[in-house]
Structures are given as C-alpha cells and as structure tokens.
C-alpha cells in the first residue's frame, strides 16, 4: 500500500504534487533546497549555482486562463500575461488556499534517491536529504515524485568557437543575465533564438548602441496576441483546432498559418525565416522583435563562426567589430544528480521515460518524473495531470503496459518527433498539448465526454469544443471532480476581459452572432471539401479555398466580427 510520497522540489510542479497527493489520501513530504516556493518563478537578485535564475523582466508566454491549475482559476483582475512576480503571487495564493506549506521542508536538499533492497516487492525508496546545517537524514518512502526542474545547468558552448580565449569582450549565459544596465551604449551580440534569447535581445536593444542577434536556423515568430488583441494561446489551443490539425493536409495548415504570419511582417524580409515549416517546431513567442528590427536597433545575423580580438565573425564571413559582450541563450541541460544513473540515461543521452513520466525499467512503478517535456502550450496544467495520473498508478488504480511495450512506444514517439527535432534529446521531450493531456485524462478517468456533454449541456459543450482548452475541462467529472469547474469555464472570458476594463468606453456594435454563424458555416464547408478531396493532387484548389476563407475571415473581422464570447 502506497502511503508516504517524497516530492522533490517546491516549484509549481512540486506544489501541484503535494495538493494531488492530499486529494488522493496520501502523505506527501516535500523537500525544497531553497528557502521559498515557486522554483523558476521566484526571482532572485543574486546567482546561486545549481539553481534556476530568471531575468527581472520575464513575463509568461502563456496566458493566465490557460496556465492555471485546473481547480484554482487566477484572480479575475490579474493581467492575461503575468510578470514573474505575479505568477509567484499566484503560487502563494494556491499554497495558502490548499494549505500546502506545512508539507514542505525548506532548505533541505535531496541528495540521493535509491531503490531499497526489497524494492521488487515493496516498491520503496531510500531518500537521503541534507539540511542547511549539513545534517544528513535518511527516510523511507513508498513513492517518489521528481519535481526538480530542468533549467538549472546552463549549456554554454563558448569553447566551440575559435578565438574565444583571446576575445576581449565578456561572454556569459542567459542564466547570468538579470538586467540590460551593463549594456548601455555598447555593441552586444546575443546568440541563440529561443524565447529567452528573443526577450533578452529585444530588451538590450533598447539600451545598447547596437544589438546583433545570431541564429543558426532562424525561426517563426508569433506574438502573445491574436486578432482583436486576445491571448493567442486561447484562440489556438482548442479541441476543434486539434481535430482540424489532424484531418487537414499538413502542408495546407503550414501554408495558411505561415501566410497569416507573413501578412503581419514578412519573415524573409526580416531575415528571420527558418528552413522548417511553421508547425514543425515551437515558434518564438515575442511581440516586440519585428519592431526592433524595423528601427534597426536589432540586427539579425547568421551563425557565429569565431572570435577575433574584440570582433566576432559570422558564418557568411561578415565581421562586427568592438563587441563588448556576447550572451549565449543556448539553453540548459537537464540533470538529476540524485537519481540512480541507470534511470537517467537513454542510449542516446535522452532520459527514457514512458509518456514522459515513468522510467520503464523499474519493477514497481513508484517513481514519477514531472515537468520534463516541452509543448506548444502551458506547462503547469500538463504537470498537474501527470501528477494525477502518477498518483493513480502508485495506488494501482491505473496500470502501465509491460516493459517491452513501453520501450517500443517510447521509441516510436521519439522517431516521430525526430522529423521536427533532429536531436534525440530534444525529440524525446516533445508532446502534443491536447492529445497528451487527453491520454493521461483517460487513464485517470477525467477526460471530458463530448458526446454526453453535447446532449446534456450544449451551452457548455460549445465552450469546451470550440473554445480554449482551459484546464477546468479536466475537473468536470470523474476522480477529483470540482464543483466550480463548469462555472469556471462559463466565466473564463470574463476573467480575460476584466483586467482591460480600466476606462469606460462606448458600447461595442451588435450583430456579431449572425456573422459568426456565417463564418462557422464557411469553415465547416471548407473542412469537408478539404477532407473529401485527395490530399496532395488538389493542393492548388485547396490553397485557393484557404485564401478565400482567409479573405472571408478578414472581411468578417473588418466588419466587426470577433471571436470573443466563445
Ligand atoms: C525563461 C523561462 C520562461 C518560461 N516561461 C514559461 C511560461 O510562460 N509558461 C509556462 O507554462 N512555462 C514556462 N516555462 C517553463 C517552466 O519551467 C515551468 O513553467 C515551471 O516553472 C516548471 O516548474 P517546476 O516546478 O517543474 O521546476 P522549477 O520551477 O525549476 O522548480 C524546481 C524546484 O526544485 C528545487 N530542487 C531542485 N533540486 C532539488 C533537490 N535535489 N532537492 C530539493 N529541491 C530541489 C529547486 O530549488 C526548485 O525550487 C519557462 C521556463 C523558462 C526557463
Ligand atoms: C508542415 O509542413 C511540412 C512540410 O510540408 C510537413 O512535413 C509537416 O508535417 C507539416 N507539419 C504540420 C504539423 O503541418
Ligand atoms: C515559453 O518560454 C519557455 C522558455 O523559453 C519555453 O520553454 C516554452 O516552451 C515557451 N512556451 C511556449 C508555449 O512556447
């Protein structure tokens, strides 16, 4: 019988695990090496080795309604995209509301987690912790939830570049970056076009004399904002879209979405365009990057080749002199020093985990890794669902397949991802947002039943199927059902609009509903046509159909249609 569960880390993932263990009648004991909750989102002025570190201006790239815990909506007055300090405030509210703090041992680091000699029978673990006075303590646990995060060990490839030893400027990782102050009036190079790279390059470009932004591959850039200024993730992550993505020819989806993006600013003109198609990889989320390029403060560059004194040389042979600093936004390496090494390394250096959670080699499934994945959507609702699933598995209420089956599923999924992410370590991390959530929800027994919903509560069905896939959907029924879930879904757009209501404005036009129906009918028609037509040969026909549809959308938007109210 599983009873006591060790939770390693009290970031957002650890907090969710404590709450879910309590829901399921288990006894969580959480160890947190720092002196506070929040993990990554707890901003600190100083750097501490082996700890996450964020820059002062970091704002979430996923919106509040999409990234909240499923039974704890964010306060209505919070802005839609939260500064790190407000997200930290939300975690505090969550921890206080569910009384989670008393299960956390702060300033206590987990040093090792190892199977007990009788593990094949009991599934128990020996956990060694060390507190701030250096005192070691041994504990026995029935299960372990690893929530230690994967942004602690910066990957800094400086030595890959010839001439780095004699470079006169400063080289450092984005992990060390807090503020743009030190870049005032200087010429700065930012290397690596991830979300942090984008944020940091844009921020520095407001202070520096000139900022160069080097990228090997280029990227598609999307904003936080969709049409009408609504949060893009709420418009994009819907069950309808998820089905369309599956049914429609992939090239058509790519083509239409790329066209819409290039309509705002041409990725070729702005020297951003990558080789890959838009839907192949996670795009960069940044609202300000094109504007900085437009005014010439930020200059896109190809791969860095070498350093030369105070200059940097790029792959295309161009040289930029007098570079005072180079900031490498080249990501992190996940590592779990406290876990038995056999669990950590796959054949190609990737962490082999069944459905990103369970090491397949254990005789008893009593260890779960949470938050070790990447997706085109918010992390927290997925971690919460991972925890709900893991706890069911610990208790034997949900079963994992045989080891060989798990290994073959892992391999198949990795192979599929390799098309978009050629690096095996990256490939192993990717999951599709709604399909992955639904898979786990099915295991837990909380996947929304759309058929039943349509018959019993059509109003709610419209919101669940056509509207954003907000986490509350997974609290409508089944284990862990929350009585407030229906209301949370019905009121989600109110919480989106509330922070904007800071000044009275004349009433908006009416007549939206009819326009909306026209749009839906047009959409349904074209989907059916696209599905009926053969996928490759009819490409030109479908492209014109998409074009027509796009025109129709722009027309509707121009005459006052918005998708608000969904
Ligand atoms: C720059 C940046 C921006 C991001 N923006 C978003 C976003 O907008 N939306 C989104 O959904 N996701 C975002 N993410 C992803 C982010 O990782 C998750 O949102 C989330 O913070 C992960 O939480 P976590 O609890 O898993 O890990 P962390 O927040 O890293 O917490 C891990 C905790 O474990 C503790 N710990 C580690 N090792 C030990 C040990 N051995 N013993 C005891 N304690 C230990 C640490 O001290 C820490 O408190 C972003 C990530 C980065 C790097
Ligand atoms: C995008 O287009 C590429 C190339 O046409 C294709 O290989 C890929 O599968 C498409 N991806 C999606 C999700 O549409
Ligand atoms: C938000 O930024 C983080 C950090 O770069 C990244 O890991 C995550 O995938 C981003 N989220 C989305 C939806 O792109």
Distance 116 CA to ligand 1 centre (A): 29
Cβ distance 410 to 352 under 8 Å? yes
| 141 Cα–ligand 2 center, Å | 46
3-state class (DSSP) for residue 451: helix
Q: Establish whether domains 4-152+333-346+362-399 and 158-328 are of one fold.
A: yes
- The partner residues of 6 in beta bridges, in order of sequence, read 29, 144
Which of 172, 174, 169, 200 has the alpha carbon at shortest distance from 187?
Answer: 169
Ligand 2 atom closest to the Cα of residue 280 is 11
- For ligand 2, the distance from its centroid to the CA atom of residue 291, given in whole angstroms, is 28
Q: Which helix (H) or strand (E) holds 492?
A: helix 492-497
What residues form DSSP beta bridges with 304?
314
The pairing of strands 304-308 and 311-314 is antiparallel
Nearest to 368 by CA among 349, 346, 348, 394: 394
Ligand 2 close to Cβ of residue 464 (< 6 A): no
Tell me the best of 58, 141, 344, 379 to mutate to test the pocket of ligand 1, counting ligand atoms within 8 Å of each CB and taking the most. Answer: 379
- The CA distance from 101 to 123, in Å, is 27
Q: For ligand 3, is residue 174 a contact (CB within 6 Å)?
A: no
Backbone phi and psi for residue 308, each to the nearest 5 degrees, phi listed first: -145, 95
Closest ligand 3 atom, CA of 378? 13
Q: Provide the pLDDT for residue 565.
A: 43
Ligand 3 atom nearest 375 alpha carbon: 9
What is the reported pLDDT for 93? 98
Q: Is 115 in the pocket of ligand 1 (CB under 6 A)?
A: no
Instruction: Rounding to the nearest 10 degrees, give the CA dihedral for residues 431, 50, 52, 102.
Output: 90
Which of 476, 482, 487, 483 has its CA nearest to residue 453?
476
Q: pLDDT tens for residues 267-303? A: 999 999 999 999 999 999 999 999 999 999 999 999 9
Would you tell me how many other CB atoms lie within 10 Å of the CB of residue 201? 32
Q: Is the minimum distance from the CB of 374 to ligand 3 under 6 angstroms?
A: yes
Q: Which ligand is nearest to the CA of 286?
A: 3
Mutate to test the pocket of ligand 1, among 6, 40, 42 (most ligand atoms within 8 A of CB): 40
- The CATH number of 4-152+333-346+362-399 is which of 3.50.50.60, 3.30.390.10, 3.30.200.20, 1.10.287.3610? 3.50.50.60
CA of 419 to the centre of ligand 2 (A): 10
The phi and psi torsions of 170 (rounded to 5 degrees) equal -100, 135
* Mutation test residue for ligand 1: of 11, 66, 369, 387, the one with most atoms within 8 Å of CB: 11
Residue from 173, 143, 156, 104 nearest 4 by CA: 143
What are the boundaries of each domain within the chain? 4-152+333-346+362-399, 158-328, 448-500+507-558
SS3 label, residue 349: coil
Domain 158-328 has CATH 3.40.350.10: no
Residue of 61, 87, 380 to test ligand 3 pocket, by largest number of atoms within 8 Å of CB: 61
Q: Give the nearest ligand 1 atom to 13 CA.
A: 25
* Pocket flag, ligand 3, residue 148 (CB < 6 Å): no
pTM: 0.91
CA proximity to 143, closest of 12, 20, 11:
20
Which residues in the chain show pLDDT less than 70?
345-350, 508-515, 533-542, 554-566
Query: Tens digit of pLDDT for each residue in 130-174?
Result: 999 999 999 999 999 999 999 989 999 999 999 999 999 999 999
Q: What is the pLDDT of residue 127?
A: 98
């Amino acid at each position: 019988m599983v009873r006591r569960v060790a939770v390693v880390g009290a970031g957002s993932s650890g907090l969710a695990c404590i709450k879910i263990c309590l829901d399921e009648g288990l006894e969580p004991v959480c160890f947190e090496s720092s002196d506070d909750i929040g993990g990554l989102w707890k901003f600190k002025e100083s750097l501490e080795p082996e700890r996450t570190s964020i820059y002062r201006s970091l704002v979430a790239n996923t919106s509040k309604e999409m990234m909240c815990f499923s039974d704890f909506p964010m306060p209505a007055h919070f802005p839609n995209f939260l500064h790190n300090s407000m997200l930290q405030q939300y975690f505090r509210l969550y921890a206080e509301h569910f009384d989670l703090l008393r299960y956390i041992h702060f300033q206590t680091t987990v040093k090792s987690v190892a199977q007990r000699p009788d593990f094949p029978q009991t599934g128990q673990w020996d956990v060694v912790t060390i507190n701030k006075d250096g005192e070691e303590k041994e504990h026995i646990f029935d299960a372990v939830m690893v929530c230690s995060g994967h942004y602690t060990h910066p990957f800094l490839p400086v030595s890959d570049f010839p001439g780095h030893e004699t470079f006169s400027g400063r080289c450092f990782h984005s992990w060390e970056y807090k503020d743009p102050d030190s870049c005032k009036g200087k010429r700065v190079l930012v290397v690596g076009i991830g979300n942090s790279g984008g944020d940091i390059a844009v921020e520095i470009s407001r202070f520096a004399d000139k900022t160069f932004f080097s990228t090997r591959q280029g990227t598609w850039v999307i904003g936080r904002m969709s049409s009408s200024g609504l949060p893009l993730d709420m418009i994009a992550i819907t069950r309808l879209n998820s089905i369309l993505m599956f049914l429609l020819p992939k090239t058509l989806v790519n083509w239409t979405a790329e066209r819409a993006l290039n309509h705002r600013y041409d990725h070729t003109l702005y020297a951003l365009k990558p080789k890959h198609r838009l839907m192949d990889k996670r795009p960069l989320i940044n609202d300000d990057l094109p504007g900085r390029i437009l005014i010439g403060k930020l200059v896109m560059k190809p791969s860095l080749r070498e350093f030369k004194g105070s200059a940097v040389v790029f792959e295309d042979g161009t040289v930029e002199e007098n570079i005072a600093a180079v900031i490498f936004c080249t990501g992190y390496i996940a590592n779990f020093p406290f876990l038995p090494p056999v669990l950590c390394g796959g054949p190609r250096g990737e962490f082999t985990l069944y459905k990103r959670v369970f090491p397949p080699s254990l005789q008893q499934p009593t260890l779960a890794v949470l938050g070790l994945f990447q997706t085109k959507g918010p992390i927290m609702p997925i971690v919460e669902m991972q925890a709900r699933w893991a706890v069911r598995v610990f208790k034997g209420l949900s079963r994992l397949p045989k080891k060989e089956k798990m290994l073959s599923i892992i391999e198949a999924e990795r192979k599929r991802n390799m098309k978009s992410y050629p690096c095996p370590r990256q490939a192993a991390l990717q999951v599709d947002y709604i399909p992955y959530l639904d898979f786990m929800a099915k295991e837990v027994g909380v996947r929304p039943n759309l058929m039943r919903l349509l018959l019993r509560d059509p109003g709610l069905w419209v919101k669940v199927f056509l509207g954003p896939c907000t986490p509350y959907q997974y609290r409508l029924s089944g284990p862990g059902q929350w009585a407030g879930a229906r209301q949370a879904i019905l009121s989600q757009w109110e919480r989106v609009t509330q922070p904007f209501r800071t000044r009275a404005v004349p009433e908006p036009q009416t007549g939206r509903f009819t326009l909306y129906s026209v749009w839906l009918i047009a959409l349904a028609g074209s989907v059916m046509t696209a599905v009926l037509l053969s996928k490759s040969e009819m490409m030109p026909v479908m492209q014109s159909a998409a074009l027509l549809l796009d025109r129709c959308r722009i027309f509707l938007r121009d005459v006052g249609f918005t998708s608000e109210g969904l």
